[in-house]
């Protein structure tokens, strides 16, 4: 089992040389305790629909925040991923550069985790997997969630951006004319996926000023 929980990996991957090119797309997802668990849940749902293999790590505070912000149980969120690891399992495959994947997203990313990644202080599996992604030259997206931002926060973001990370505050796009909270969430998730070259038609894209579609009063 790849899993460090009670459920096995949903994907069986043939790693022989003959079939190596058939490896499915594989994304690592880290969820921290910052507000915004809904972004990670929607991300996992869309990736599952697209057939992308997901490797999930949730911090202890991510579980607490998810319980407070969403109606889903911890097991239901974990059930959306292909493989799940406990946050202190430093022996997990994603802790090694030899485990090949197509990038990592930390959604949402707390300022504590941001600082840990910036300094290379890998005291849990989320920061270690992010550190590995950077050193291996793989995509790393950090959906930073904090406001207002201090000099320290901004300095950490700038440092990591220069190191190759994608700094992605999940800022709402009002040009889509969102009707529900899920519209706002999905637009951010769709743009995150764009950063990884993963396409979805589940959100509205900017297509110039379409005055004929403009609502009265706006």
Residue spans of beta strands (DSSP E) within the chain: 26-31, 53-58, 83-86, 104-109, 140-144, 166-167
Judged against a pLDDT cut of 80, whether residue 30 lies above it is answered with yes
Q: What is the mean pLDDT of residues 157-181?
A: 96
What is the chain's Cα-based Rg? 18
Considering the chain, what percentage of its residues have pLDDT values greater than 70? 88
**d(C-alpha 179, C-alpha 215), whole Å:** 12
**d(C-alpha 192, C-alpha 141), whole Å:** 8
For residue 6, what pLDDT band results from cuts at 50, 70 and 90?
Answer: very low
Considering the chain, what percentage of its residues have pLDDT values greater than 90? 80
For residue 204, which of 175, 169, 180 has the smallest C-alpha distance? 175
pLDDT score recorded for residue 90: 96
- Record the pTM: 0.88
Q: What is the DSSP string of 43-98?
A: HHHHHHHTT-EEEEEE-HHHHHHHHHH-S--HHHHHTTSSEEEETT-TTSGGGSTT
Judged against a pLDDT cut of 60, whether residue 19 lies above it is answered with no
The string of pLDDT tens digits covering residues 62-86 is 999 999 999 999 999 999 999 999 9
pLDDT score recorded for residue 211: 81
> Is residue 102 a contact partner of residue 25, using CB atoms and an 8 Å limit?
yes
Which token pair is 118?
């910036």
Judged against a pLDDT cut of 80, whether residue 218 lies above it is answered with no
Judged against a pLDDT cut of 90, whether residue 3 lies above it is answered with no
Judged against a pLDDT cut of 80, whether residue 104 lies above it is answered with yes
Judged against a pLDDT cut of 80, whether residue 160 lies above it is answered with yes
pLDDT score recorded for residue 21: 58
What are the chain's domains?
24-203 (3.40.50.1950)
pLDDT score recorded for residue 197: 95
Q: In what order do the strands lie in the sheet with 26-31?
A: 83-86, 53-58, 26-31, 104-109, 140-144, 166-167
């Amino acid at each position: 089992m790849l899993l460090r929980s009670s459920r096995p990996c949903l994907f069986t991957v043939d790693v022989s040389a003959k079939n190596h090119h058939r490896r499915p797309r594989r994304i690592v997802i880290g969820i921290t305790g910052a507000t915004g668990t809904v972004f990670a849940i929607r991300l996992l749902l869309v990736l599952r629909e697209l057939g992308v293999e997901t490797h999930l790590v949730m911090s202890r505070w991510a579980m607490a925040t998810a319980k407070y912000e969403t109606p889903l149980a911890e097991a239901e969120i974990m059930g959306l991923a292909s493989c799940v690891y406990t946050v202190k399992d430093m022996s997990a495959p994603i802790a090694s550069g030899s485990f090949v994947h197509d990038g990592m997203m930390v959604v949402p990313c707390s300022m504590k985790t941001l600082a840990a990644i910036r300094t290379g202080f890998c005291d849990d599996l989320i920061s270690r997997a992010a550190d590995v992604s950077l050193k291996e030259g793989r995509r790393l997206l950090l959906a930073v969630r904090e406001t207002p931002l201090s000099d320290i926060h901004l300095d950490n973001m700038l440092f990591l951006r220069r190191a190759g990370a994608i700094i992605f505050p999940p800022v709402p796009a009002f040009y889509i004319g969102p009707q529900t909270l899920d519209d706002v969430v999905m637009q951010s998730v769709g743009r995150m996926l764009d950063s990884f070259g993963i396409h979805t038609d589940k959100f509205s894209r900017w297509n110039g000023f379409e005055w004929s579609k403009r609502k009265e009063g706006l």
